[in-house]
Structure 1
Amino acid sequence: MGCYNVMAVLVNERTSSSKELQDVLTRYGCIISVRLGLHKTGNACSEEGLIILQLCGSLEEIKALEDSLNSIKGVKAKSIELSAE
């Protein structure tokens, strides 16, 4: 199985959703190969950010992660499977 699944996670309410978001990411940590977090910095951290995940797992596990993330208020996740075929 190749690891050609990427998920983008848009977080609109970082402060209020961070604990639940971290809990979900920890629960699915075994299928997350790479996690990259992006947000504006400055005098104060932005309330919105983008997380990019590279995933190595079954399509069922990836779908379960996506559904769990989308159940969090202020979080929107979308996955894509890339293929050379």
Structure 2
Amino acid sequence: MADGIYVVGILVEERASRGPEVQEVLTRYGSKILCRTGIPDPSKKRGIITVTMQADAPDVDKFKGDLQDIAGVRAQSLRLADAIYNCPA
């Protein structure tokens, strides 16, 4: 399946305790991540992370599933376009 450009929004409840697990997942998919931004929710108990990635749909679904396996983490994605460039596997 062809790579596409996806934006994945991640909401992390109780970010202080769940952040390390989320970071582990982000690191595992680092070769597919083009950009990552994060901000704490004003309440300081939640974190909001936006990831732009170049991947195929099954990899994005696996990424979201790995994140959502962590209690208190939600992830949604949006496919924006075809890949910017082709990356070797």
Q: Normalized against structure 2, the TM-score is what?
A: 0.80
Contact 2:4 2:81 in 1 (8 A): no
Give the C-alpha shift of residue 69 in structure 1.
0.4
* Structure 1 vs Structure 2 CA RMSD: 2.0
Task: Report the CA distance between 1:83 and its aligned residue.
Answer: 4.0
- Which residue matches 1:38? 39
Structure 1 moving runs of 4+ over 3 Å: none
SS of the residue corresponding to residue 74 of structure 2 reads strand
In structure 1, stretches of 5+ residues that fail to align are: none
Q: State whether residues 11 and 76 of structure 1, in contact with CA within 8 Å, keep that contact through their aligned partners in structure 2.
A: yes
- State, as a whole percentage, how many aligned pairs show the same letter: 32
Q: Which one-letter code corresponds to 2:59 in the other structure?
A: E
Q: Which residue of the partner structure matches residue 85 of structure 2?
A: none
Paired residue for 2:46?
48
2:80 corresponds in structure 1 to 82
Q: Which stretch of structure 1 is more off in the superposition, 45-54 or 17-26?
A: 45-54
Answer whether contact 1:35 1:54 (CA < 8 A) is retained: yes
Of 62, 65, 69, the residue aligned with 1:64 is 62
